[in-house]
Amino acid sequence: MTTDEYDQYGAEEDPYALALRPGRAPVYLRLADGRRIRVPVHRWHEPPTADDETVLERCVGPVLDVGCGPGRLCRELLSRGVFALGVDIAPRAVALTCAQGGLAVCRSVFDRLPAERGWQTILLIDGNIGIGGDPHGLVRRCGRLLAPTGRLVIEAEHEDVEECSAARYESPQGRCGPAFPWARLGLRAVRRVAEDLAFSVTDQWTSGHRRFATLVHTGAGLRSRRM
C-alpha cells in the first residue's frame, strides 16, 4: 500500500479500515513498547479455516460475534441455519458483513445491544479479548449479554502472556492509525480473568497454532442439567 493509495481513500481511514479491503497489504499492531505484531488480516477475508471450524462447532444460537470484522464467522453460522449477529465499531466492517449476506450492527460491545442477556454464545475471536484494553471489563460486559446458560468462546494468544497497553494499527510503510487500548492474554491469563469474574472454563483446546477456551457462568452447567 503506497502513500498515494492511502491518501486516495482519505486520511480518516486508518490502517485498520484499509485492512478491511480484501487483497490489501499486511497490517501490524504497533505496541507502546515498540514491538510490531503482524495481524492476520488475510484470514478475515477467507472462508473459515479448520481452526475456525473448532469454534463454529461449539456455537449454539443465537450467537453474537464481537469485533466481527468482515463477518466470516457470523456469515458462516447463518449459512448453517444458526442465527448470528456481528458487532463492530468500523462502518466498513459492518458494510462488508451485510453485503456478503451477514447481519451486523455498527456499535461498541459496551453500547446497548439487541437481546441483552439472551445470547447463547458470544465470540471473542482473532484476539478480540483485547478490545478496550481491559479484559476484566470486557468479560464482565459479555457476561451481562449472555443468557444464564450461555457460553463465551475466547481465542487466546499462543504464548503465555498477559499485557495491556496502547496500540496502533500500522501499514508496512509505517503509517499509523490512532492509538487505542489493547490487551493480549494467553490461556493462563484467560483462566485467571474467568475465576475473578465467577466464570468457569469448561473447555480449552489448541488447533494449529491457535488456542481457545470456553467460559460459562459458574454453576451454569449444573443449572442446565436440572432444567
Q: What is the pLDDT along the chain (227 residues), one digit of tens a residue?
A: 223 333 333 434 566 776 787 666 788 999 999 999 998 888 898 999 999 999 999 999 999 999 999 999 999 999 999 999 999 999 989 999 999 999 999 999 999 999 999 999 999 999 999 999 999 999 999 999 999 999 999 999 999 999 999 999 988 888 888 899 999 999 999 999 999 999 999 999 999 999 999 999 997 644 443 33
Cell numbers describing residue 216: 460459562
Helix (H) or strand (E) holding 87: strand 84-88
* pLDDT value of residue 85: 98
* CATH code assigned at 210: 3.40.50.150
The answer to whether the CB of 107 falls within 8 A of the CB of 25 is no
Q: What are phi and psi of 67, to 5 degrees?
A: 70, 50
3-state secondary structure of 167: strand
Measuring CA to CA, which residue among 47, 42, 24, 23 is closest to residue 100? 47
Query: What is the 3 state secondary structure string of 110-161?
Result: CCCCCCCCCEEEEEECCCHHHHHHCHHHHHHHHHHHEEEEEEEEEEECCCCC
Between CA 47 and CA 45 the distance in angstroms is 7
Cell numbers describing residue 79: 449459512
Tell how far CA 168 is from the center of its chain.
17
Cell numbers describing residue 226: 436440572
Mention every residue, 6+ apart, whose C-beta is less than 8 A from residue 5. none
Domain span holding position 104: 3-226
How many other C-beta atoms can be found within 10 angstroms of the C-beta atom of residue 48?
16
Between CA 65 and CA 94 the distance in angstroms is 12
Total domains in the chain come to 1
